[in-house]
Structure 1
Amino acid sequence: MMFNRLIFGLCAGLLSVSSLVWGYADPGACSGDCWAHDPALIRRSSDGTYFRFNTGSEIGIWKSSALTGPWVYEGAVLPNGSSIDLAGNTDCWAPDVHLVGSTYILYYAVSTSGSQTSAIGYATSTTMEYGSWTDHGTTGISSTSAKPYNAIDPNLIESGTSYYMTFGSFWDDIYQAPMNSGATAVAGSSYQIAYNASGTHSLEGSFMYYRSGYYYLFFSSGICCGYDTSKPATGSEYKIFVCRSASVSGPFVDAAGKNCVSGGGGTLVLASHDYVYGPGGQGVMADPTYGTVLYYHYANTNIGLADSEYQFGWNTIGWSSGWPTV
């Protein structure tokens, strides 16, 4: 979810932008080390400790006793890089973390900027602490120029007793594949679940969340990075959209009823506002204090636009219309 759009994000393309709100709440409080890029957020079930993982290097680990911080950097998940033998295996992207049974599984992507030679790997831990992670290499989901998709930005969703991996970025956008019972290996063919036919096909960073009979497919679209050196045309920067379906595999539609594969559907959830610029790389979690939370990274215009200055953002989600608003 990080670097492919540096090359291909010259034009964000047009989605059917049906927005449910005209204004957005500012991000919730964050103290300590709040740098973030493509954050993955999870709360440890045994003691309530929060862990945050970020794109870059060997996947960083941050800990906090509260969602608001103070966040403290602990070290890297993969201090020796990934065992996947591809370029970029010491600069892994887009972590996604889930508790499966009694084991935490962290999924990550190996790729390089602008490349379709990519793979999704995974590591496991029973505590998520620094030094506790074991890398297992590939899940079997990979891509080359012969594939219609790019195998990055993994996200796991459980549906009943089955697991599915959603992934993809540019090319033909978002795909999904069934996983085995342990959620560690692909168990079937991939299929497309979201697509923007316009421009550069700029959908990526998918994250699926189940609520009240619907699977909500969140994704980022637009130019993600390099704002300090080449700021996009207004409206072309990163923003967060959503589609939903009663089935984990679709078909997905937006709030206006437009199909999210064939109709260019996508309802806008969060875009630039006030000091928040280019929010994206999002996820959703149920928090015991704040309710359902949308979390993401963004450039804070009061701090700077460089990738190295991106901040961790979060907002409580409202569901009064059946669709998420912040």
Structure 2
Amino acid sequence: MPLLLTALAIAAASAPLAEAAPQDTPAAAPAGGFNARLVGDIAPVHDPVVIREGDVYYVFSTGIGEGGQRILSSRTSRDLVTWTRGRAPFERLPEWATKAIPGAKNMWAPDISYVNGRYRLYYAVSTFGSNRSAIGLATSATLDPSKPGYGWRDEGLVVMSDVKDDFNAIDAAFVADAQGRHWLSLGSFWSGLKLFRLDPTTGKLLHPAERPRAIASRKVPAGAPSIIEAPYIFAHGGYYWLLASYDYCCKGVNSTYYTVVGRSKAIEGPYVGKDGSAMLQGGGTMLLRADLREEQRFRGPGHAGHLRDRDGTDFLVYHAYDREKSGVPTLRIVALEWGADGWPIAKGQ
């Protein structure tokens, strides 16, 4: 969940996947991992998500910067290592969003997927500390601005939360299950992470009046929020895997964010960690570490998005705060290895 984005920008100055041509080759992991080699326009990046079209990788992230990048940020790469600024999808917030969420300035925590011949870009609109929030949807035939059919068509509101709800409608992520059903996970703080059923044709809620499924929460003192956000579900090895970020982002080098993972045979859960701990009770297995040692350069790794590349390699993109550059949120990428026990390992954090 993006907080204090203006301060982060100042600090900077100091899923179904996209189809590609068969001849396209996956990115080869560099020695030492991707994070040891990342260059180019990799900061400020907050709440990233990644997809591939053809031989180009696209990262979308919370709006930070100037012009359209302030609304929603975009970057591209041909090897997952060297990144350049992309064309921003929007120049301004949609009119419906400014009316629904007074005070909103940009889009937060996007998600990108390829469904039924079009790219779906889900995005959040909110203000700090409020659960008066909304998820919107935009679609385009291609991500490449040079191709015919490029152009983002805003499809409007998908789901909204307000003070009467026990969830916060931000941090959305699309997933299709093995039965072809479409779902949207979302949530930040309040009572935790939720799962909504989607209409496969429209990408909007299948049953708007239906209560969402709870998929993760944390035990907290009475009256305190559930300090969990950024759900992302993907399939591997006969399981659905749920990523979630625990503790606090957006505090620069003082951020305590870390990412956990749990798995379930059913997309609706229950999700559990390697030790059997329930994610509905704050359990799960740590995947991206919480490491506040003074020598650790990148702090608070979280808000992970998943990509399965052409050769079947699984990648995570996420952000962490760079201690050597005033705590600016920075793009990070790791390849997942799958252990003999069937659980993922993020190497090269």
The C-alpha deviation readout for 1:283-315, integer Å capped at 9, x for no partner, is 11112479211110011222221xxx2111011
| Structure 1 residues 256-275: aligned runs within 5 Å | 256-261=275-280, 263-273=281-291, 274-275=296-297
Q: Which moved more, 1:118-127 or 1:283-292?
A: 283-292
Superposition deviation, residue 226 in structure 1? 2.5
Matching of residue 31 in structure 1 with residue 39 in structure 2: yes
Of 93, 110, 116, the match for 1:101: 116
Q: Distance in 1 between matches of 2:338 and 2:326?
A: 32
Q: Distance in 1 between matches of 2:36 and 2:157?
A: 35
Name the residue aligned to 2:170. Answer: 152
Matching of residue 41 in structure 1 with residue 50 in structure 2: yes
| Structure 1 residues 74-113: aligned runs within 5 Å | 74-82=86-94, 83-84=96-97, 85=99, 86-113=101-128
Q: Distance in 2 between matches of 1:251 and 1:279?
A: 25
Q: Distance in 2 between matches of 1:50 and 1:41?
A: 7
Q: Distance in 2 between matches of 1:26 and 1:125?
A: 29
Q: Distance in 1 between matches of 2:119 and 2:215?
A: 26
| Structure 1 residues 143-292: aligned runs within 5 Å | 143-159=161-177, 160-182=179-201, 184-188=203-207, 189=210, 190-198=212-220, 200-227=225-252, 231=254, 237-261=256-280, 263-273=281-291, 274-288=296-310, 291-292=313-314
TM-score, normalised with respect to structure 1: 0.85
1:116–1:143 CA contact under 8 A, matched in 2: yes
Q: Distance in 2 between matches of 1:299 and 1:290?
A: 29
Cα separation, partners in 2 of 1:240 and 1:147, compared to 1, 3 Å: same
Q: Distance in 1 between matches of 2:246 and 2:343?
A: 18
Aligned AA (2:42)? C
Q: Distance in 1 between matches of 2:103 and 2:342?
A: 40
RMSD: 2.1
User: How many residues of Structure 1 are paired with residues of Structure 2 in the alignment?
Assistant: 294
Name the residue aligned to 1:20. Answer: none
Q: Distance in 2 between matches of 1:204 and 1:25?
A: 26
1:41–1:283 CA contact under 8 A, matched in 2: yes
Q: Which runs of 4+ in 1 moved over 6 A?
A: none
Superposition deviation, residue 25 in structure 1? 7.1
Cα separation, partners in 2 of 1:89 and 1:104, compared to 1, 3 Å: farther
Cα separation, partners in 2 of 1:289 and 1:34, compared to 1, 3 Å: farther
Q: Distance in 1 between matches of 2:34 and 2:258?
A: 15
Q: Distance in 1 between matches of 2:269 and 2:59?
A: 29
Gaps of 5+ in 2: 6-31, 64-69
Q: Distance in 2 between matches of 1:212 and 1:290?
A: 12
Q: Distance in 2 between matches of 1:215 and 1:104?
A: 22
- Helix, strand or coil for the counterpart of 1:75? coil
> Percent identity, aligned pairs only?
30
1:28–1:315 CA contact under 8 A, matched in 2: no
Structure with bigger helix share is 2
Name the residue aligned to 2:9. Answer: none
TM-score, normalised with respect to structure 2: 0.79
The C-alpha deviation readout for 1:26-83, integer Å capped at 9, x for no partner, is 8252121011100011101xx22111111023111211212112x2213321212133
Larger RCO (CA within 8 A; separation ≥ 6): 1
Superposition deviation, residue 316 in structure 1? 1.1
Name the residue aligned to 1:58. Answer: 71
Cα separation, partners in 2 of 1:25 and 1:222, compared to 1, 3 Å: farther
Cα separation, partners in 2 of 1:224 and 1:212, compared to 1, 3 Å: same
Q: Distance in 1 between matches of 2:79 and 2:216?
A: 34
The C-alpha deviation readout for 1:143-178, integer Å capped at 9, x for no partner, is 001001001100011012110000000000100010
Cα separation, partners in 2 of 1:100 and 1:91, compared to 1, 3 Å: same
